[in-house]
Chains A and B, each alone.
Chain A
Amino acid sequence: MSSKILNTVMGMSLLALASTNAAYAELLWLTETAPPKSSATQVADHAAHHHAMHTPTAAVSSTVVTDSGKHDHTGMIVLDETPGKDHRPSKQVWLRRGDDIKKSPFAALDGGVAYLTLIDQAGKKSVVEAGQENGLFTLKAEMPEVGFYETYLEQRSVKEGRLLVELPKIELLWASCQPKEIDEEAVAKPIINDALALELVRIHKEDEGCMNRLVSGDVVNFQVLSYGKPIAGFPVSMVTQEGWRNTQPSDASGTVAFTMIREYFPNWLEFKKYHTDVFLVSAVMDKQEAGALNGQPYISVRYEATLPGKYRPSPHDYRSYAWGLGISFFVIVFGGLAVYLYRRRRLKPYKEERVDDKS
């Protein structure tokens, strides 16, 4: 009997997992990576092709070109994430669907109810308008001051009697190499949208500033919030660009910590210290709430919150203090010795010369 119950529970868990995985596979997220121009002409065809498929979004397949133009082993051209530069006062954002960061297609709004909100470092909210480029969702966010800006999209639609509330969010940064232009306290303070049913917030370090970048090996903390309040014991997932996945429950303060793994292993001559990998953090919450959206009734609600981030190779991968100190020590010791020997060689031995004034 107990075995039957266990099997049933396991079966339900697997079902839930499969359902969650399916949900993750369809996650909607915002990105700074632009769709490649080469695919622009393919967008309409793909949009038409995908229109009849499983998702109502006007999604397009991410048949895009890498920096190196290399194809992967499946023959499909894979996208290398190349997020926007942080030293620009405006950024363009796109929408993608799916948790395969390299291959997930760029998307458009699905025609449901959607809101876009931008919150600046001072907590000032502004409603922004989305645009379209080649049939794809895009948003140009203006960032008048140096610092972080949070951009939120809230998209609601009813599918099979369930209200799906998709809450993709992206943290945008206008950085400056002038530390004195930066209000460190404001940068360290998290920006929270307390009107959201589910939100993921990256916790900034106190001394983070604007020029600090996440690197592999860093421990990154996220807080999961509902209407601005932390949720304890809530599963939060991370998937990285190369497909590494991890799920952690939040602690009593709603915080989860992930260590950024190293995924970049190029040959030395191809190594780029500014290489940027992308990760995606997500949380899904189901609630039994009934209601209607635009006349379409639903009996449950699913909230899907996503937050992408980016990180670089760790300086430990390419910087060596031992070599640095070794070179300077070598120069000081051998240079000092060389100067000593040079000066010694030029030292003339004492030689007395007598001049006889009378002669």
Chain B
Amino acid sequence: MTNLEDIRTAVNNVQFNRFRFWLQIFFFALLVYGGYLGIELGKHLPTFACGYNKELRGGMCFLMPLQHWMEWPWEKLFSAAALTILYGFTIFFLWFIALNRGWCGFACPVGTIQDWITSLRRWTGIRYSRYSEGQYKGLGIIKWVLLALMFLIPLGIGGGWFTHDLKSPFCMICPGRTVVPLFGLDVSQWSIDFSSRTNMIMTSLGLLVTGLFFIGAFVKKRFFCFYCPMGALHYLFSKAALLRLNKEGAKCTRCGDCYRVCDLQIKEIADDIQNKNIMTDDCIMCLKCVAACPEPGALKATFAGIPIFEATEAGFITRMNKGRTDDK
């Protein structure tokens, strides 16, 4: 029992930013270079292990096969062949429930790249930007629109309404397509395809989003995560996940530390003292809020109901003494 308590104390006192940095490096190596080691985690991963990274990747983002399936002709889509989709979705779901949106906060290569860009900005001494409340509310809808289009456009292709050049529409504008293969020295996605008007528009749009990704990620922490349809898809199933972020409102003093460290500017994390499940559609479960919380037990991450990392006074002091630079 004492041993278990010791482990808990050690975990709660961990230098969280350092731990997260190395965990992100591990997932990045696994998902972006895993192919070198013969690792294949399948094509149903709930994170941007980009399929355009061809042989190098250790698995594939689920959105790619999902869009391919949605492009099936309707006769096929609404037949027994749809069992393939059901099977694929089940695998996706099983992966997802293990980490919930921790896939975004710890495993996503595109998220990790954004964190590295943030580190670069911090090194230059340039301050970061935050959305105003109005901007935050307005722009927050974009991920849901992208999620809807990601289903509707491929369905339209299957129904014969749209050209096949519109296939995998989200992949075409995802910065993962252009940025992740760069780590395998593949620049083939940095070109405009003039073979048709649709291809020309989609590839141009993709590179426009890539340009915005670099600027956005430089001035705004986790810029793209705010618009990510994978995040929106995650949120639909997050209540069933094993990893959860819980808050005990009675222990919260609304000091606002959690809000200040939140990359996604989620105000509810500080303001909401009613709900136990504090997850919102923007939360990437990076758990920086738990690490920054000074109130014992106010915020905690649980796995299948068992607390695995919670706010403690000692942990807060240890981390503060080490000197955090997140808010530079």
Chain B residues whose C-beta falls within 8 Å of the C-beta of A336 in the assembled complex: 215, 218
Count contacts between A and B, CB distance < 8 Å.
74
The answer on a CB contact under 8 Å between B196 and A328 is no
The answer on a CB contact under 8 Å between A321 and B187 is yes
Q: Is A325 an interface residue (CB 8 A)?
A: yes
For chain B residues 153-202, which have a beta carbon within 8 Å of chain A?
178, 187, 190-197, 199
Q: Is A180 an interface residue (CB 8 A)?
A: yes
Q: Among the listed A178, A179, A325, A331, which residue makes an inter-chain contact with B208, where contact means beta carbons less than 8 Å apart?
A: A331
Chain B residues whose C-beta falls within 8 Å of the C-beta of A329 in the assembled complex: 211
The answer on a CB contact under 8 Å between B190 and A343 is no
The answer on a CB contact under 8 Å between A331 and B212 is yes
Count B interface residues, CB 8 Å: 28
The answer on a CB contact under 8 Å between B190 and A321 is yes
- In the assembled complex, the Cα of A336 lies from the Cα of B215 at a distance in Å of 6
Q: DSSP class of B's interface residues: helix, strand, loop or mixed? A: helix
Chain B residues whose C-beta falls within 8 Å of the C-beta of A244 in the assembled complex: none
For chain A residues 225-255, which have a beta carbon within 8 Å of chain B?
none
Q: Among the listed A178, A180, A332, which residue makes an inter-chain contact with B214, where contact means beta carbons less than 8 Å apart?
A: A332
For chain A residues 166-208, which have a beta carbon within 8 Å of chain B?
178-180
- In the assembled complex, the Cα of A327 lies from the Cα of B200 at a distance in Å of 12
Q: Known: A179-B55, A327-B204, A343-B129. Contact between A319 and B211, CB under 8 A? A: no
- In the assembled complex, the Cα of A323 lies from the Cα of B210 at a distance in Å of 14
Give the Cβ gap from B323 to chain A, nearest Cβ, in Å.
Answer: 27
The answer on a CB contact under 8 Å between A327 and B194 is no
- Name which of A37-45, A267-275, A300-308 contacts chain B: A267-275
The answer on a CB contact under 8 Å between A324 and B203 is yes
Q: Among the listed A269, A313, A335, which residue makes an inter-chain contact with B211, where contact means beta carbons less than 8 Å apart?
A: A335
Q: Is B35 an interface residue (CB 8 A)?
A: yes
Chain A residues whose C-beta falls within 8 Å of the C-beta of B204 in the assembled complex: 323, 327
Chain A residues whose C-beta falls within 8 Å of the C-beta of B247 in the assembled complex: none
Q: Is A339 an interface residue (CB 8 A)?
A: yes
- In the assembled complex, the Cα of A178 lies from the Cα of B43 at a distance in Å of 9
For chain B residues 11-42, which have a beta carbon within 8 Å of chain A?
35, 40
Against A, the Cβ 8 Å flags (1 = close, 0 = not) of B215-228 are 10011000000000
The answer on a CB contact under 8 Å between B191 and A320 is yes
Q: Which residue in chain B gives the minimum CB-CB distance to A327?
A: B207
Q: Which residue in chain B gives the minimum CB-CB distance to A178?
A: B43
The answer on a CB contact under 8 Å between B207 and A324 is yes
Q: Known: A180-B35, A327-B204. Contact between A332 and B211, CB under 8 A? A: yes
Q: Known: A178-B43, A179-B55. Contact between A271 and B207, CB under 8 A? A: no
The answer on a CB contact under 8 Å between B203 and A332 is no
Chain B residues whose C-beta falls within 8 Å of the C-beta of A339 in the assembled complex: 129, 215, 219
Q: Among the listed A178, A268, A332, A335, which residue makes an inter-chain contact with B194, where contact means beta carbons less than 8 Å apart?
A: A268
- In the assembled complex, the Cα of A339 lies from the Cα of B128 at a distance in Å of 11
The answer on a CB contact under 8 Å between A179 and B54 is yes
The answer on a CB contact under 8 Å between A321 and B211 is no
The answer on a CB contact under 8 Å between B212 and A320 is no
Q: Known: A180-B40, A343-B129. Contact between A327 and B211, CB under 8 A? A: yes
Chain B residues whose C-beta falls within 8 Å of the C-beta of A331 in the assembled complex: 207-208, 210-212, 215
Give the Cβ gap from A15 to chain B, nearest Cβ, in Å.
Answer: 47
Give the Cβ gap from A275 to chain B, nearest Cβ, in Å.
Answer: 9
Chain A residues whose C-beta falls within 8 Å of the C-beta of B212 in the assembled complex: 331, 335
Q: Is A330 an interface residue (CB 8 A)?
A: yes
Q: Is A350 an interface residue (CB 8 A)?
A: no
The answer on a CB contact under 8 Å between B192 and A324 is yes
Give the Cβ gap from B118 to chain A, nearest Cβ, in Å.
Answer: 15
Q: Is A265 an interface residue (CB 8 A)?
A: no
Against B, the Cβ 8 Å flags (1 = close, 0 = not) of A337-356 are 00100010000000000000
Q: Known: A328-B207, A343-B129. Contact between A319 and B194, CB under 8 A? A: yes
Q: Known: A179-B54, A180-B55, A324-B203. Contact between A335 and B215, CB under 8 A? A: yes
- In the assembled complex, the Cα of A191 lies from the Cα of B177 at a distance in Å of 35
Against B, the Cβ 8 Å flags (1 = close, 0 = not) of A252-270 are 0000000000000000110
Give the Cβ gap from A18 to chain B, nearest Cβ, in Å.
Answer: 43
The answer on a CB contact under 8 Å between B190 and A320 is no
- In the assembled complex, the Cα of A343 lies from the Cα of B129 at a distance in Å of 8
Q: Known: A332-B211, A336-B215, A339-B215. Contact between A327 and B192, CB under 8 A? A: yes
The answer on a CB contact under 8 Å between B193 and A318 is yes
21 contacts between A and B (CB under 8 A): A178-B43, A179-B55, A180-B35, A180-B40, A269-B197, A272-B195, A318-B193, A319-B192, A319-B195, A320-B194, A321-B187, A323-B191, A323-B194, A323-B204, A324-B207, A327-B207, A327-B208, A330-B211, A331-B210, A331-B215, A335-B212
Residues of A within 8 A of B (CB): 178-180, 268-269, 271-273, 313, 318-321, 323-325, 327-332, 335-336, 339, 343
7 other A-B residue contacts (CB within 8 Å) besides A179-B55, A318-B195, A323-B194: A180-B35, A319-B193, A327-B204, A327-B211, A335-B215, A339-B219, A343-B129
Residues of B within 8 A of A (CB): 35, 40, 43, 54-55, 129, 178, 187, 190-197, 199, 203-204, 207-208, 210-212, 214-215, 218-219
The 7 A-B pairs with the shortest beta carbon distances in the complex, nearest first, are A331-B211, A273-B195, A318-B195, A323-B192, A324-B191, A335-B215, A319-B191
